Amino acid sequence: MKPLQTSSGDILADRRADYAEMLFGSGEPAAAAELMLGALEFAPDWALGWFRLGEMHEAVGDTAAAAKAWRRALELEPRDPFGAGLKLELIGEAGPGGAPSSAFVEVLFDQYAPKFDDSLVNRLAYSVPALLDAALRAAHPGRFAGAVDLGCGTGLMGERLRPVCDHLEGYDISAGMLRVARDKAVYDRLVKADLQALAYEGEPVDLVAAADVFMYVGELEKVIATGSSMLREGGVFAFSVEHWRGKGDLILQPSRRYAHSETYVRSVLNKNALTLLSLEPHMIRQDRGLPIEGLIVIARNDPSAR
């Protein structure tokens, strides 16, 4: 996320903040933090300035000062569009939040939308839509009368689903992503919705897909229960997660994406009467030059399993 697209409202504060950003970009975080603190003397209620000050302190290694700045950003902007809560969680200054703020996810993807396809597919070797498509065809050959693409983004998964779906709907929190998806003309209906608070009122569908979505959700109980409730009996739930091989159910990574353990995924599926059809580890993308392992999961709605 480009840091300073929002003005403080004070010319002197903006000028000092611009110099701070120049210093920070040139590898002088301590000097940048000092100058940013000076900017905030002119604009003490500037939430984004406090967030950036926290990142500068973090780069110096002063986590106590970083935490103080991020807490101030949260006080000023409780919706947390900059992800200060995630930053606090990463440095151990907050308990597990279980989910990023909806405002953070919305801002992140609104900014990312124009370059999303090129960045993911051409630069980061993003392969989740192709992997989910192959797993779906193996587990459920044939067509789906109705399907929902949760967190549809720009429609990369929708392009894979369209040939095998009679009716396809996409849901996403980002208006910017939905604009790109609409231009592709692969969905019958697109809806702006927060998956953390989605109350589905449509007819049961045969397929719910969520490609590269749950790493921006955190705890899976609520969103998988929502997806399961959309399915008719025998319907299929197809999704991916980033794979966590350590202790615990999930972990927030430095990328500010969550990774989930296989045991946790299986447990949440069982709680929602979703019978596992396939679960396979795959390399799903690159991040900072390193391969990221994920799980490609296909499950069936089976009420008799409750």
**Tokens in use for 226?**
């929502």
- CATH class of this structure's domain 11-95: mainly alpha
CA neighbor of 244 nearest in space, from 231, 235, 255: 255
Q: pLDDT 10s digit of each residue in the chain, 306 long?
A: 344 357 899 999 999 999 999 999 999 999 999 999 999 999 999 999 999 999 999 999 999 999 999 999 999 999 999 999 999 999 998 766 667 899 999 999 999 888 888 888 788 889 999 999 999 999 999 999 999 999 999 999 999 999 999 999 999 999 999 999 999 999 999 999 999 899 888 899 999 999 999 999 999 999 999 999 999 999 999 999 999 999 999 999 999 999 999 999 999 999 999 999 999 999 999 988 899 999 999 999 997 766
113-305 to CATH, choices 3.40.50.720, 3.90.400.10, 3.40.1190.20, 3.40.50.150: 3.40.50.150
3-state helix/strand/coil string of 111-161:
HHHHHHHHHHHHHCCCCHHHHHHHHHHHHCCCCEEEEEEECCCCCHHHHHH
The pLDDT of residue 181 is: 97
Q: What is the pTM of this model?
A: 0.91
List, in sequence order, every residue forming a beta bridge with 207; answer none if it has no partner. 147, 236
Domain boundaries, the chain: 11-95, 113-305
